[in-house]
Structure 1
């Protein structure tokens, strides 16, 4: 059973808000993946521009890595965005 990392108090956060924050997402290279992930990002950052998503296919071409840079306004926003992306059916990994 995996243990969760200890909760870091907001005053000890290394991230200053607001700031631009990159998030890496990997999923199968299928039709609609980029658009689905862009819609999630826009839910948490209404000013997010899908045209800024960086795409990198895996060496075998089966997977697609995306880098989204969102405007982070709070730790709660980032935590919820990570949870939402991590549970998305098209997503394999979120970093």
Structure 2
């Protein structure tokens, strides 16, 4: 196996900042996550593209996944977005 230091950086691959990224939060269906996820992202200073918001319920309706695109200036803000969503008690996972 190669060491990470031996791998050449390949420009054009991976996340490029600033950029627009999709984030998905999965959690309890009764938690109004469609609105709450947008609020959390806006509270940390990110711009959500409202037309991109999608919601999908689990087969038994207990959980919901909410996906949306947001504009992100840096990797730090991207990581902050995931951390802020995961800190919410009704959100179980983010992708």
Cα contact 2:54–2:67 (8 A) shared by 1: yes
- Structure 1 stretches of 4+ with a deviation exceeding 6 A read none
Point out where structure 1 has 5 or more consecutive residues left out of the alignment.
Answer: 1-10
Distance 1:68 1:27 in 2: 15
Does the alignment pair 1:64 with 2:64?
yes
Partner of 1:37: 37
How much does 1:51 deviate? 4.6
Point out where structure 2 has 5 or more consecutive residues left out of the alignment.
Answer: 1-8
Q: Residue 48 of structure 1: SS of its match in structure 2?
A: strand
Which has more radius of gyration? Answer: 2
Q: How many residues align?
A: 85
Give TM-score, length-normalised by structure 2. 0.76
Give TM-score, length-normalised by structure 1. 0.76
Superposition CA RMSD, Å: 2.2
Q: Residue 16 of structure 2: SS of its match in structure 1?
A: coil
How much does 1:50 deviate? 3.8
Question: Which aligned pairs between 1:1-95 and structure 2 lie closer than 5 A?
Answer: 14-43=14-43, 44-45=45-46, 47-95=47-95
